[in-house]
Amino acid sequence: MVRTPSCDKSGMRKGTWTLEEDRKLIAYVTRYGSWNWRQLPRFAGLARCGKSCRLRWMNYLRPDVKRGNFTQQEEEFIIRMHKKLGNRWSTIAAELPGRTDNEIKNHWHTTLKKRSQQNTLTKEEARASKSKDKVLPNKGVTVTLPATSSQFSDNSSLSPASSTSSEFSNITSDPSTAASMENLVFEDDDEFGFLDSYIDPMNNESFWKELTLDDISFNNVPIVSEDTNGCFQSTSSSNSNTLDSLHKSTSESIVVDNDFGGFFDAYAEATVDNFWTQPYVAGMSSNVPTELLAPSVAESEYFTPIYDDLWGQTHLYY
């Protein structure tokens, strides 16, 4: 699942991030923000390229990254959005707070793609079957249901209120298996329209107005709410977790206090040589789990001098 750490020609580490590297990156970005990804690893004491740091932060360490299994609602949303937008993962991810484009992309390729293809096949088979039915009528039952597809409306907005959809889906099923959704066949172009009428909570318009996605996620992840434009917004809730558990792909939500200006203050006064020797009183939010920080912050105001930098010198961590 993870790559074996290795080094490239330039000495930059590649492969799996270690706990210590994560700590360094979190500690640095939490304190100073991502002012410049290319320069950041040097000051954060990481033998990584900036690109790798950015990716690690954006896809894994960022406090508002929701981890854990995709809910059914999320999956259906991704399928719908992919059908509409194609492989525009970042756009899809933007509509799913807490989920990264990489995560969505992986989930698509490993799970949802097949499901979508199977559904398409089922649809084609149904059409073929339907052609036969025209020759031999009355072999199936056609049910017309109102499709409340508003929560995943076609204007990319998630607001049910923004949609006045009155479209209908014609559902044909074999009478003997009419109760089984697996056997339902859909005649409209939206293979997943049936979900609108069968996912109960989603059928409730107020669900998308009042309920938030934290209801469908596990633990306490970023709270998702709908803004006036009908788009999702997320706000962080204070939740603690350990980096160890983060490595085990658990939910995480911490508040980041990016002291952007603070970095430049420190930077202006610091040289590469003394940067790490300056005592630092943690200015991070108290909501940041101490486990995520560099060692000893829990016991001391300052970090312990354990850090060997890229130049082989030992410095105070902060």
Partner DNA sequence: AACCGTCACAACCGCATGCGA
Partner DNA sequence: CTCGCATGCGGTTGTGACGGT
Q: Map residues 9-48 to x or -, x wherever contact with DNA holds by CB under 7 A.
A: ----xxxxx----------------xxxxxx--------x
**Nearest 5 degrees, angle CA 11-CA 103-CA 15?**
15
Residue given tokens 């989603």 in the structure block = 202
> Residue 4 Cβ, how far from DNA at the closest point, in Å?
5
Asked if residue 65 lies in contact with residue 59, where contact means CB atoms within 8 angstroms, the answer is yes
Scanning 89-97, 166-174, 177-185, 291-299 for contacts with DNA by CB under 7 A, the matching segment is 89-97
276 binds DNA (CB under 7 A): no
By beta-carbon proximity to DNA, the closer residue of 35 and 302 is 35
Nearer to DNA, 28 or 208 (CB): 28
Question: Least distance to DNA from the beta carbon of 14, Å?
Answer: 4
Vertex 287: Cα angle to 286 and 288 (nearest 5): 90
Rounded-to-integer distance, Cα 287 and Cα 147, Å? 43
Contact segment (CB under 7 A) with DNA among 84-92, 153-161, 256-264, 287-295 equals: 84-92
- Answer yes or no whether residue 101 interacts with DNA by CB under 7 A: yes
Strand partners, 144: 170
Binding flag, residue 103, DNA (CB under 7 A)? yes
Please tell me whether residue 50 binds DNA under the rule CB under 7 A. yes
Phi first, then psi: give them for residue 41, nearest 5 degrees: -60, -30
Residue with smaller CB distance to DNA, 84 or 105:
105
Adjacent-strand bridge partners of 142? 172
For DNA, the closer CB: 109 or 127? 109
Would you count residue 207 as binding DNA (CB under 7 A)? no
59 near DNA (CB under 7 A): yes
Segment interacting with DNA (CB under 7 A) among 106-114, 222-230, 253-261, 279-287: 106-114
Which residue is it, tokens 């108290």? Answer: 286
Query: Residue 198 or residue 264: which is nearer to DNA going by CB?
Result: 264
Point out which residues bind DNA (CB under 7 A): 1-4, 8, 13-17, 34-39, 48, 50-52, 54-56, 58-60, 87-91, 101-103, 105-107, 109-111, 249
